[in-house]
């Protein structure tokens, strides 16, 4: 024991005491790999076809943070010359019509033909929690593992038509990344599907055989916006009912104004589960572009869509500025009380709040007063 203690003491005596080094300013900085990529880095990654960088770029444009929005616009400005060369196809249909199954079969067939396919699926957001399931990838198991396919689910938020606020910008990013077919799937059928119509070239409507969608679709005006109507699930025992539905749709389309000039909307049969009729739908889409692109109709439609997009953004920003204006906030409670007490009309109450942000009051209506 004495010898062991002696050797231990000698060892401690011979240990070299190293000076304690405090972390330098350089070492305390965020390592380069952990820093968010710059717009230039993202642009280079997107153009190189890097899927991770594309996903991060989409996340950036979906953000509503002012700093992120400025970076997103810088990114899009750099990528803009490399956009606009894809086939933009919108697909909608009533819940249960089989949109996801159809899109997976459709996308897989396009990939086999050598196309690069981006699928932007819009999931409905809860009116209470504002959350979304975003489960489309689980419903497209084959397509999501293809190296030439990219699936991006996004929450619809509160935007008109169930189409995400930044879907148009996401389409531009996918085009810059080299995807030559961009498919946008909307939440479902409704009058507000005009939002989807306003961002794609070709609009495909899926209907169920014998499901009453024929009259309901015409009533809502959905059929009037379609470039092609496809009766899905037209296989097995549904085949006869599907053919009857197709005939009814074809007869109705004969009396409707075509959604696209120089193009007659047709009704066809398909079965997304086994792929029946799906190649014919792609041939219709190709014929659509072959006929209308030389006439300049596709380019004209996209120009009109850009102007409509500009107007939508201006209206959205004006609404945001109005409700965040401190002058409106200062009068909101008093105006609300006056309205509920019957001391003013809704029109006058609205005018008072609007005039609070205007340099010149509205000349035609008297100002509302709060008692």
The bridge status of strand 181-185 relative to strand 266-269 is unpaired
Pick 132 or 37 by higher pLDDT. 37
CATH of domain 83-295: 3.40.50.300
Q: Return the pLDDT at 200.
A: 96
Q: Return the pLDDT at 133.
A: 40
Each domain of the chain, given as residue ranges in start order, spans 35-81, 83-295
| Encoded tokens for 4 | 């062991």
pLDDT, tens digit, for every residue of 104-143? 999 999 999 999 999 998 765 444 434 344 445 556 889 9
Burial class (CB in 10 A: 0-12, 13-18, 19+), 239: middle
Pick 123 or 176 by higher pLDDT. 176
pLDDT higher than threshold 70 for residue 189: no
The band of 358, judged by pLDDT with boundaries at 50, 70 and 90, is confident
pLDDT higher than threshold 70 for residue 228: yes
Q: For the residues 45-63, what does the mean pLDDT come to? A: 95
Q: Return the pLDDT at 246.
A: 95
Q: Return the pLDDT at 166.
A: 82
The band of 156, judged by pLDDT with boundaries at 50, 70 and 90, is low
The band of 27, judged by pLDDT with boundaries at 50, 70 and 90, is very low
Q: If you ran DSSP here, which 8-state letter would residue 33 be given?
A: G
Most confident of 18-32, 229-243, 355-369: 229-243
Q: Which of 186, 176, 179, 241 is nearest to 208 (CA)?
A: 241
Share of residues in the chain with pLDDT > 90 (%): 61
Q: Whole-number mean pLDDT of the chain?
A: 83
Count of Cβ atoms closer than 10 Å to residue 243 Cβ: 14
Q: Return the pLDDT at 369.
A: 52
pLDDT higher than threshold 90 for residue 278: yes
Q: Produce one character per residue of 301-335: b if its CB has 16 or more CB atoms within 10 Å, e if not.
A: beeebeeeeeebeeeeeeeeeeeeeeebeebeeeb
For residues 347 and 314, the answer to whether their CB atoms sit within 8 Å is no
CATH of domain 35-81: 1.20.5.170
The bridge status of strand 202-207 relative to strand 87-93 is parallel
Q: How far apart (Å, rounded) are the C-alpha atoms in residues 53 and 228?
A: 35
The band of 342, judged by pLDDT with boundaries at 50, 70 and 90, is very high
Pick 357 or 31 by higher pLDDT. 357
């Amino acid at each position: 024991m004495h010898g062991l203690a002696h050797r231990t003491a000698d060892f401690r005596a011979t240990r070299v005491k190293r000076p304690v080094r405090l972390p330098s300013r350089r070492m305390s900085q965020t390592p380069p790999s952990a820093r968010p990529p710059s717009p230039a880095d993202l642009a280079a990654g997107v153009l190189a076809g890097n899927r991770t960088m594309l996903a991060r770029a989409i996340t950036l444009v979906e953000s509503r943070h002012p700093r992120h929005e400025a970076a997103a616009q810088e990114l899009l400005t750099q990528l803009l010359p490399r956009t606009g060369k894809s086939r933009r196809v919108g697909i909608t249909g009533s819940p249960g019509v089989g949109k996801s199954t159809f899109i997976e079969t459709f996308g897989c067939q396009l990939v086999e033909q050598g196309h690069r396919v981006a699928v932007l699926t819009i999931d409905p957001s809860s009116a209470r929690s504002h959350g979304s399931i975003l489960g489309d990838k689980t419903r497209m198991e084959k397509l999501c593992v293809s190296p030439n396919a990219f699936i991006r689910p996004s929450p619809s938020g509160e935007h008109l038509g169930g189409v995400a606020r930044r879907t148009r910008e996401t389409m531009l990013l996918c085009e810059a990344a080299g995807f030559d077919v961009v498919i946008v799937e909307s939440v479902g059928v409704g009058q507000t599907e005009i939002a989807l119509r306003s961002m794609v070239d070709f609009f495909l409507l899926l209907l169920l055989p014998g499901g009453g969608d024929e009259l309901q679709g015409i009533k809502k005006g959905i059929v009037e916006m379609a470039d092609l109507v496809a009766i899905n699930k037209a296989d097995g025992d549904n085949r006869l009912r599907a053919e009857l539905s197709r005939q009814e749709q074809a007869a109705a389309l004969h009396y409707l104004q075509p959604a696209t000039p120089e193009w007659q909307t047709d009704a066809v049969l398909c079965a997304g589960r086994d792929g029946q009729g799906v190649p014919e739908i792609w041939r219709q889409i190709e014929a659509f572009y072959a006929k209308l692109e030389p006439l300049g109709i596709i380019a004209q439609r996209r120009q009109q869509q850009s102007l409509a997009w500009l107007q939508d953004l201006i209206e959205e920003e004006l609404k945001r500025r109005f409700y965040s204006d401190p002058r409106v906030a200062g009068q909101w409670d008093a105006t609300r009380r006056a309205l509920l007490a019957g001391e003013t009309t809704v029109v006058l109450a609205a005018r008072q709040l609007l005039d609070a942000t205007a340099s010149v009051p509205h000349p035609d209506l008297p100002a509302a007063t709060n008692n």
